[in-house]
Each structure stands twice: as structure tokens, then as C-alpha cells.
Structure 1
Amino acid sequence: MVTRRFAVLLAIGLPLPALLPAPWLAVLGVLAVALLLALLDLAMAGPLTGVRLQRDGDRTVWLGGTAVCSLTVTNDSTQFSRLSLRDAWVPSAGAGPLFHRLLLAPGESEQVRTVLVPTRAGDRPAIRVTLRSHGPLGLAYRQRRQAWSDRHTPRWTLRVLPRFPSRRILPEKLARIRVIDGSVVTRGRGHGTEFDVLREYVIGDDVRSIDWRASARNHDVVVRTWRPERDRRLVCVLDTGRTSAVRIGDVPRLDASIDAALLLSVLAARADDRVDLLAMDTAVRARVEGGGHRTQLPRLIDAMAGLEPALAETDFSLLAREMLRRDRKRSLLVIFTALEIAPMIEGLLPVLPRLAARHKVIVAGVRDPAVSTLAVLPAGARAADVHTAAAAERVLAQRDKVRDVLSRSGATVVDADAGAFASRVADVYLLLKATGRL
């Protein structure tokens, strides 16, 4: 194939024969010379079959972060290779730069870097590496078919983990877990505690925690210490139905739920509790069960990365069947969904009493702060503002009604604005942990 430089050469050379006595023969001569130069240039271009590609770089990145993927190009042929390379990714990978130029001697390698700033969570694959080998004059180039490029493109997929903005408050919540552990030991035995160790009595200890038999054996006053029960079970249920696609501020409701579920999962894992995940709408989209505390959290994060809202109404009877399928051990069931009256009446409310009879249930819904803002009449309000405020007040009243009905059905309801949602859910878990009600 010829390049733009070949077209420029023709544009310069073809007008010159018009000054000669036999212009048509001269034009043919110019064309013949240009084609001969292009063929010679094409023959001197390095073969693409001698180019070897290899990828390396980041495999995972948090949404909003930056990843780097490098592509090593090696010239295994015996000729110089003047290459132009296009490294194409899916648009949501935010890849750049896409185009590179390389000059490789025989046996030489060069590395090109692609910076990725993804705009969506999930898997973001590399599509295709397209190579062109140019001649020394730049008049022509070699390029293989798309199927050949697909076969020789190194496969690479960047796993984009969901956004986790509540990570900034994680140290505060972890400090509260440490306080809960220490306060339970100081107060002695209570609900939701288990025996820890025996130690010598110190002034201020509750005399009711003295172990008289152990004191008699050791000839000293010994007290029992207690700690919060470990290995409790926490099940995070993410509603991926149509209501999860609604944007709350700048992000979908599902992203806010994932953020809160991530914070809750990290806290529970640090507190030595088991965390399971169930994401569902009309079918189960992700399920994470079992595993040790060290391996469970990476599996949860990886499973949440591929979740997307589905344009379907969530079937909460599927949740009831899934929870009944499990063993009968009591769990803390946290359902992240929308506190809207129609999905609640037709979906969750009919199965909630059965779930609450066997498990401790929390229903968490993120609230759009814009609705609360619209419910306030501005100064000098017009008729349109009054109608808007009335509609916003009606939405808020419906949320209050849903919250009351859920509470009467045995669930603890968390209804908070997007900025405080993850923190509020974590606070409820910490309160249940401190009072031994998991």
C-alpha cells in the first residue's frame, strides 16, 4: 500500500510534463518512476512476520485510578523495521496514546507504554494491535489483514475494580472495632461475647468476672475476660435490577451500594466475621460463599467489579429461595436496594417476614439529596416551584411510609444521603456488633 508521501510525490511531479512537447509520454514516465520507487520502497520494508509482541503491566486498577500496560516489540528479522503501531482498546478503558512509531534494528526490542484511565468498572480488554512496516523512503508500507493482527495480538484484560470512596473513613471504623473489643473485655461477659483468657485481677475489674476455682488453683485472684463473638455470618445482597441504574448524584445507585458493601465487608473481615455476597435481579449475577478471611475479601471485590444494572424488575422471591437453600444458621442479612413503594410492595415485603424470622435483616437504600433540596421552596417561588416542591414532598412521604412498613415487618432500615450512606450502614453493623445482636 502507498502512503500520503507517494500522493505528494505525484502531485509535485505530474504538473511538470505539461511544459514538455509530448506531455502524455512524460506523464507516463513520471508515473512509472513513482511506481518503481514505491515498489522498491515496499521491497525494502521489514517483514511483519519477523515482529514479535509481548505484553506486561497492571492487571487490576480501582475505578478512577490509572494503570499502565507496556507492549514490547521485538524485531526477529534480519532487516531494519520502521513500524507504525496502533494499540486499540475498548473506549471505556481510556487508553492513550494509541499510535506509536518505532525504528528497530535486527534483534532489537523497544517498549511502548499505554496509560489507561478507565471510566467503567469490569473487564476492559485490549482489542487489536495493528502494525505497518514502512520502507526507508516512506512511499509504501506493508500491512497484514485484520485476522492476522487478531491472531498475533497478545491478549490482555484490565480488571477495573468498583469505586471505593468510603475507603477514606475506613481507619475511623477500624478504630471503633478495636474500641468495641477492648470495652467488652473491660465490662466482662455480655450478650454476643465468648470466653477469651484468664488474667490476674486489677483494681476496677468487675468482681462478677472473678473465676473462684481458677483463683484457688493459682493462689491469686483471677478474672475471666470476654471478647465479641467471632465467625458471625454476614450476607450482602446487592439489588441489580432496574432501580439500581438510577443515578444518585453523579453515580448509579448500584455504585453507591457497592461502595457501602465494600466498607461493610472490610470491617466484617477485620472483625473475624464471615462475609458472603449475593447479587441478583431476575437471576443470580454473582455469588461468593465460603473461603477463609484472607481469601474472601479479594473474591468479593472481584465479583463486584463485573456487576451492571439489568433492565428488569428484581425477583425477591429468588432471594428467599437462596436464603432457605443455605443452612439454618442465623445471619446478618444486609439488602441494598431502592426504598421505593412499588418495588417494595410487589417484591420485598411479601418475603420479608420469612427472612426476618430466621435472620437479622437490614434494608439499606441510598437517598438522592436533590429530592430533599427540591422539597424546599426558594424565595420568591413561582407556581412551577410549588408543584416541584409538592412532588418532592410526596416522594419523601412515600419513603417514610416504606421505612415504617419495613420496620414493622422486622427489618432495620438505613435511609441516608449518598455522602453518608456507607458510613451509616457501617455504624449499624458496629452497633449490632457492640451489643451482641448479630
Structure 2
Amino acid sequence: MKLLKSLYLNNRIFIAIGAIVICFIASFIIDDLIIIPQALFFLFLGLVITDMLLLYRTRRGLAGSRIMADKLSNGDDNEINITLQNSYPFQVKLRIIDEIPHQFQRRDVNFYIDLGAGAQKQFHYYLRPVKRGEYSFGALNVFVSSPLGLLARRFRFSQDKLVPVYPSYLQMRKYELLAISNKLTETGIKKIRRIGHNMEFELIKEYVAGDDYRTINWKATARRRHLMVNHYQDERSQQVYSLIDKGRVMKMPFEGLSLLDYAINASLVISNIAIKKSDKAGILTFQDKIATHVPASRSNNQMGNILEVLYNQKTAYREADFSVVYNFVRRKITQRSLLLLYTNFESVYSMQRQLPYLLNLSRHHLLVVIFFENTEMKSFVEQPAADLRRVYHKAIAEKFIYERKLIVKELTRHGIQALLTTPQNLTVNTINKYLELKSRGLI
């Protein structure tokens, strides 16, 4: 039974059977030709038996595996590697079908390659998940055909692997490396000129080549009889909280990824950047009540805690209650902090309903309200109108776009920092805002 389960027929065998059947039909018309289809039939049986012996004579003719990370990064292209080793003494033709999770809704993950005798080959493809959660991979199916190409033998590798999809840790690592090497400007992040002298004294040390001569401590130099300089460090240990709205307005999808997932990915990156910049990072998620709270810290395991908390975030499609957020922040976050509020306002009226709570938050903390441009509506407006109905639709779309700009002006007028961004540029623009506020000494 195992042999029959792994045995498959190629198209070539059906073509051969069809040709033999045609020859038998022709032999009924011409009696002298009966010997030809009979000879072809026995030759065909011999080739089928030979092909089967070639494929099954070697017990483990092919070795293979699917190599991938223990977890996938949401919203990113994750590399999936496939390695194959041919143990047959002849070249084989391979058809590879990978059973990827149903969440991807793809039916095109199959490949055709030739593999020489004793050769090994590795290739890869990419998967981009757009939802967090557990993804179940099936088997890696490889159909092996000999040079005769009549039959195929199926091998199965790396069966039933469960892989979690976490918030975008690949994006987090990318910006972490850029922040450490001071190359954030290469990805479009602005270099902000520091205004004033927002530095705090750390120690006095001996002068070495390259030190700023303006920091020479003349009194210490006179006492020690050689140059001494003051060493300063940036003000540190400021608290940076990401406040994530999980209400129904955050379920709108752009490029397959919901606004909630964009906010979660950006929160993970900005938290990591803040810790690398010697600040403390924390998380607060809410709907009609507070869902999760990770107190601000810069301990070694803080990013692990934040990653696990963000992985489990879901929405119940409820309206967000900003009064609950204000009461919780007043009770739990006593130190002045930078609050990055990820939400979405569809109209000026929806913002004005929450404005009293936003004003109260901004009195005790530095509040930045981050909300989103509708990129699909913007692209719709840019298309020419072909008829009167489309003109009306464009006018309504332009009204919605204009209201987003009015929201920014209204928040700015009340002294609240506002950031209107496209979902795709959320992470970069949030980092820019954070660096700008630090350079201005506002946190």
C-alpha cells in the first residue's frame, strides 16, 4: 500500500497509452498491422516496469527539508529555504509542491527543477503574512521522475510544522542596526539638529585627541597639570509609551495589513529604538476598557515582554473609550512621559468628541496623536473623472481628505502634537517625530 500511495502517473504515460490505443484501432482496419500495436504494448509494459525499478530500487533516493525561522514576521517577506539531495545514480526531474498555510490563499507554490546524480540544490521563496497568529505548514511534497518520465515517486518532508507569526521583528532588527550604526538617515529618517544644550554632566576625564576643546575644565587642568575635559551625556531614562487603539476604526486594511497591525509593528520598532537611545519603553492597549499594560522599563527582557504582549492583541470591534485611557494614565503613569497614541479619526466631529480627554492627557504628558491617511481614497481622487457620478464621488473623497488636514490643525491649535501619515510610512514617520521631540528637548 505504501508503494501505491507514493506512485503517480505522469502525462507521458497517458500519451503512450493513447498512441497504443490508436494503433490497435488502426489494426482492425489493416489486418497485417496487428503485430505492431502488440509489440508496442509489450515494449510499453517493459518500460513501465523498468521505470518503477529505477525509482524504487534506491530506498531513500531523495532527501529534502524546508528550512525557515521559528517564527514569521508580520507584514514582511519571510524567506523559506528548500534543500534537496539526490541519491539516485542518474539525473532526475523534480516537481516540488509546498503545502503552505491556508491563510496565504496561494496555490502557486510549486517548482520544477532538474537534479544531477548525487547533486544537492537549495532554493528559496518568500511568504508575506498579514495577520498575527499560528500558521500550520503541511508537507513538502517532491515528485521524482526518472529519465523515462512515465512514473513519479512522491517523497514527503517537514510535515505538520506549526509556526507563530509575530509583530514585525525583522523591521525592528533593521532599524535597531541602523540606530546603533547611526545610519537612520539612509532609510529616509531625518537628521534633526539639536537646539540648545540639552546635556547633563557625567564625569571629568583626561583630554584625548578628538575631544571638543570647548569642554576643557580649566580648574581641573590647573590642579592636575594636564588637560582635563568635562564629559557629558544626553538626558536619559525618559518614558516612552505606545498607546494603541484596538477599536473598530483600526481594522481597516491597507495592502492586506490592518491599521492595528501597522500600529503594532511601529510600536515594536519605536520601543526598541527608545531603549537603544537610553529611554524607557512601555505599551498600553485599549478598547472600551484597558486591555494590556506593560510599564515603561529599559531592562534586558523588556523587548521580549513587549513582543509577547503585542503578539496576542486582538480587537472586539468596539468603540474606543478615551475616558478610560485618561483615568488609567493619571493613576498609573505619574512621571511625565511621551505618549504616542495610535488611533484613527474619520471626521472632525469624531476627533472633537475625544478632544477633552486628549487635552487632559496633554496637560500632564507630551501627547502625540498619530492617525492615518486613506491612501486608497487619495489614489481614487487622483484619477480623472469620466462621468458626473464619478465627479460626485471624487468631491466626497476630497472632503474626507480635507477633514484629515483640519483634524491636524485643530489638534495643533490646542497644543497637541499631531502626525498624519500613510500606513506604509508609519514607522519611519514615528521615528522622525520621536527624534525631533528629543532634539528639541521636549522629553
How high is the TM-score relative to the length of structure 1?
0.64
The verdict on how the C-alpha distance between 1:56 and 1:158 changes in structure 2, with shifts beyond 3 A counting, is: farther
Task: Give structure 2 stretches of 5+ with no counterpart.
Answer: 1-7, 207-211
Matched with 2:418 is: 413
Q: Give yes or no for contact 2:248–2:319 (8 Å, CA) kept in 1.
A: yes
User: What CA distance in whole angstroms lies between the structure 2 residues aligned with 1:311 and 1:239?
Assistant: 11
The verdict on how the C-alpha distance between 1:55 and 1:2 changes in structure 2, with shifts beyond 3 A counting, is: closer
The verdict on how the C-alpha distance between 1:101 and 1:386 changes in structure 2, with shifts beyond 3 A counting, is: closer
Deviations 1:303-327 (A, max 9, x none): 87x6999572353456557646855
One-letter amino acid of the structure 1 residue matched with residue 185 of structure 2: L
| Correspondences of 1:4-403 after superposition (within 5 Å) | 4-18=11-25, 19=27, 21=31, 34-35=44-45, 37-46=47-56, 50=60, 51-56=62-67, 67=79, 69-73=81-85, 75=87, 82=92, 84-88=94-98, 89-90=100-101, 92=104, 98-103=110-115, 105=117, 108=118, 110-116=120-126, 118=128, 120=130, 127-135=138-146, 137-143=148-154, 149=156, 152=159, 170=185, 175-176=191-192, 179=194, 183-184=196-197, 194-198=200-204, 227-246=233-252, 253=259, 257=263, 261=267, 264-265=270-271, 268-278=274-284, 292=298, 312-316=317-321, 319=325, 323=329, 326=332, 328-341=334-347, 344=351, 348-349=354-355, 351-352=357-358, 355-356=361-362, 358-368=364-374, 385=391, 388-389=394-395, 392-393=398-399, 396-397=402-403, 400=406
Deviations 1:273-299 (A, max 9, x none): 122344555798987666647776688
SS at match of 2:281: strand
SS at match of 1:53: strand
Q: How far off its partner does 1:402 sit?
A: 7.9
Task: Give structure 1 stretches of 5+ with no counterpart.
Answer: 186-192
The verdict on how the C-alpha distance between 1:401 and 1:364 changes in structure 2, with shifts beyond 3 A counting, is: closer
Deviations 1:365-391 (A, max 9, x none): 233478789999x99x97974784466
Deviations 1:84-131 (A, max 9, x none): 2414245859998732345565xx451231232647576877543112
Q: Give yes or no for contact 2:241–2:296 (8 Å, CA) kept in 1.
A: no
Deviations 1:181-225 (A, max 9, x none): xx416xxxxxxx64333589xx9989xx9999x799779999977
Q: Give yes or no for contact 1:94–1:117 (8 Å, CA) kept in 2.
A: no
User: What CA distance in whole angstroms lies between the structure 1 residues aligned with 2:236 and 2:154?
Assistant: 63
Deviations 1:398-437 (A, max 9, x none): 76368636965x7433345679876665555345434543
Q: Give yes or no for contact 1:63–1:120 (8 Å, CA) kept in 2.
A: yes
Q: How far off its partner does 1:137 sit?
A: 3.0
Matched with 2:438 is: 433
Matched with 1:189 is: none
One-letter amino acid of the structure 1 residue matched with residue 203 of structure 2: V
Q: Give yes or no for contact 2:373–2:404 (8 Å, CA) kept in 1.
A: no
Q: Percent identity?
A: 16
How high is the TM-score relative to the length of structure 2?
0.64
The verdict on how the C-alpha distance between 1:176 and 1:14 changes in structure 2, with shifts beyond 3 A counting, is: same
The verdict on how the C-alpha distance between 1:224 and 1:411 changes in structure 2, with shifts beyond 3 A counting, is: same
Q: How far off its partner does 1:338 sit?
A: 1.1
The verdict on how the C-alpha distance between 1:125 and 1:87 changes in structure 2, with shifts beyond 3 A counting, is: farther
One-letter amino acid of the structure 1 residue matched with residue 438 of structure 2: K
SS at match of 2:142: strand
Q: Give yes or no for contact 2:201–2:231 (8 Å, CA) kept in 1.
A: yes
Q: How far off its partner does 1:231 sit?
A: 1.1
